[in-house]
Structure 1
Amino acid sequence: MKLSRCLTLLAALLPITLAAPTASSARRQDAATNDYNSSFLVFALFLEQLAVSFYDSSLSLLSADDFRAAGHPDSVRRGYEQVLKSAKAHSDYLVGEITNLGHADSTAGCDYAFPVKTTEDFINMSEAIQALAVSTYVGALDRSQSDTYTTVFGKMLGDEARYATWISTAVKDQDLADISFESPSSMNDTGTIAGLSVTGCSPGIDPAVFAFFRGLNGAV
C-alpha cells in the first residue's frame, strides 16, 4: 500500500480514535464524581453535626461555675466555646457544598443523647470526639478524589488536631501521645463509634453512607 494511501486512512481514523467523550458519558462521569464527593461531604457533615450537638448541649448544661468547681480556669470553658464555633463553621460550609452538589436532603441532622452529667464527663468525651475527628479526617484525606475537598479536609484536620492536643495537654494536663503517624479511620469505624450517641436520624440521611444506623429507630 502506498504511503499516501496509508496517510489517508490514518487521517480518516484519527477523528474516531481521538474523539472526545460524548456529552452523555461526560454527564454520567460528572454525576458519579459528584455522588462520590457528596458521600464524603455528608459523612464529614455527620461528624461535625454530632460535635455541634455535643458541645452546644453540654455547654448549655455546664456553667462557668461548674468548670471552676471542677478546678478549671475560665479559659477552659472559653476554649470549648471556640471549638463549638469552629464545628458550626465546618458544618455550615459542608451544608452549602452538599446543597450545591444537589443533595440538600442529605444535610438533615440526627438526634443525639450524650452521657454528660459533670464537667469531667464532658471533658473526657470531648477528648474522645476530637481524637475520632482527627482520625476521620486523615481517612477522608486518604480517599478524597477532589483537589478542592482535599484542601478543605486538610484545613479541617488542622483545626481538629489543634483542639485535640489542647484538650489532652492544656485541659487534662497529659503528656503528648507517643504517636508518629495518625491512623486513619474508615467510615464504618467512625460510624460505629459516633453512632453510639445517635437516637434517631432524618429519612434524608443516605443509607449507603450511614449503613451502620440500619434498624436504629427505623431511621434508615
Structure 2
Amino acid sequence: MFQKILLFTIAALAAVRAAPASRSDSAITDADILQYALTLEHLENAFYAEALAKFDQGAFAGAGYSSDVRQRFVEIGEHEATHVKFLSDALGSDATKACNYSFPIPDPRSFASVAATLESVGVSAYAGAAHYIDNSDYLTAAATILSVEARHASWVNANANSSDPFPAPFDTPLSPSEVLKLAAPFIVECPSSNPKLPFDT
C-alpha cells in the first residue's frame, strides 16, 4: 500500500512540476548536487542496515522468500554503503551526515515494497539532477551510480515483489525538490551542522 502511494505521488509530481527552486539553476554547484546525492544515499544505507538487522534469514523464509533473496538485499545494502563512502570522501569534512530515520517496515514483505520504491526514486533522482553537473568526472560517476540503482530497482521488482522489472521505456526524472519531498516522510531529524541544500522542500 505504501509503495502504491509513493508511486502515485511520483506520477503526480511528474505530471505537475514543482515550482522553481529559490536559487537559479546557474547558482547550483556540483558540490550542492554531491551533497544532495549523499543525503539520499544516507537514507538508503540506513534503510537497508535497519531492515537487515531486524529481519534474519528465518524472517525472509517465513515471508515466503527463497534463500537467496536476503543475500541479494545484503549486497544492495553494501552498494549503498559504498556510495555513501564514495560521496563522503569526495566532499571531505563538509560532507553531510546521516539523519535519524523512520521506515514503515514491520515485515520483510513491506521492506521489499519500500525498497522497490526507494530504488525507483533513486533512479529518478540521479536522472533529474544530471543536468546540474558541470564536472564531467562527477557526471560519469553519477551515471555509474544511476545504472546500479536501476539494476537494484529491477531486481527488487522482479525477484522480491514479483512485478515488472522494467515497466516503461523511459524512467521519470524528478527534480531535487520533488525527490526531497518524497524522502521527507522517512526523515525524523538531521544534524544541524548539515549544509542546507538549495532546493525547495
1:160-181: CA deviation from partner (whole Å, max 9, x where unpaired): 0001000101222222443112
CA gap 1:117/1:147 in 2 versus in 1, 3 angstroms? same
In 2, Cα distance between equivalents of 1:36 and 1:67: 42
Partner of 2:175: 186
In 1, Cα distance between equivalents of 2:197 and 2:160: 38
How far has the Cα of 1:141 moved from its partner? 1.9
1:134 aligns with 2:123: yes
- Greater mean alpha carbon deviation, residues 60-69 or residues 104-113: 104-113
Listed as ranges, the gaps of 5+ residues in structure 2 are: 1-25
- Greater mean alpha carbon deviation, residues 146-155 or residues 179-188: 179-188
Partner of 1:37: 30
Which amino acid is 2:130 matched to?
L
Secondary structure, counterpart of 1:74 in structure 2: coil
Partner of 1:198: 187
Which amino acid is 2:60 matched to?
F
Aligned length: 176
Alpha-carbon RMSD across the aligned residues, in angstroms, is 1.7
How far has the Cα of 1:211 moved from its partner? 4.9
Partner of 1:152: 141
Which amino acid is 1:97 matched to?
A
CA gap 1:35/1:180 in 2 versus in 1, 3 angstroms? closer
In 2, Cα distance between equivalents of 1:106 and 1:58: 25
Cα contact 2:29–2:132 (8 A) shared by 1: no
TM-score in terms of structure 1 length: 0.76
Partner of 1:209: 198
Partner of 1:79: 72
Which amino acid is 2:186 matched to?
S
Secondary structure, counterpart of 1:55 in structure 2: helix
Which amino acid is 1:56 matched to?
A
How far has the Cα of 1:122 moved from its partner? 0.3
Partner of 1:9: none
In 1, Cα distance between equivalents of 2:71 and 2:27: 38
Higher relative contact order (CA 8 A, sep 6+): 2
Cα contact 1:105–1:204 (8 A) shared by 2: no
Larger Rg: 1
